[in-house]
């Protein structure tokens, strides 16, 4: 279920096949077939009531979602540089 969920969150088209024992028909494993390409997404949402900006970073550094919020005053070029490092796979303090 975890693999299926992560592939779905990553919007990865996949096919799940059951691997069964040929004699007993007992389920041995699931085999997932998919191409290892995906798209990354970044969504910034202003939260006017709190003065914050919410970041939703999807499929950066692997399949998954990172949700984090920063006060608008902290969204500076330094923070955006950390986000850029994360996007290109460099060590980053973003998130």
Question: Dihedral of CA 32/33/38/44: which sign?
Answer: negative
Question: How far is the CA of 13 from the CAs of 16, 23, 41, 48, in angstroms?
Answer: 10, 31, 16, 36
Q: Residue 6 in 3-state DSSP?
A: helix
pLDDT on residue 33: 86
User: CA 43: distance to chain centroid?
Assistant: 12
Residue 6 has pLDDT above 90, yes or no: no
pLDDT on residue 14: 83
pLDDT per residue as tens digits for the range 41-86: 999 999 999 999 999 999 888 878 999 999 999 999 999 999 999 9
What span, in angstroms and rounded, lies between the C-alpha atoms of 68 and 53?
9
pTM: 0.63
pLDDT per residue as tens digits for the range 10-52: 777 888 899 999 999 999 998 988 776 777 899 999 999 999 9
């Amino acid at each position: 279920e975890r693999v299926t969920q992560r592939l779905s969150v990553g919007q990865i088209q996949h096919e799940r096949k059951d691997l069964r024992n040929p004699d007993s028909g007992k389920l041995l494993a699931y085999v997932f077939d998919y191409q290892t390409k995906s798209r990354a997404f970044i969504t910034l949402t202003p939260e006017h009531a709190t003065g914050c900006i919410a970041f939703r970073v999807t499929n950066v550094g692997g399949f998954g979602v990172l949700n984090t919020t920063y006060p608008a005053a902290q969204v500076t070029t330094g923070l955006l540089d950390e986000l850029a490092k994360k996007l290109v796979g460099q060590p980053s303090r973003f998130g």
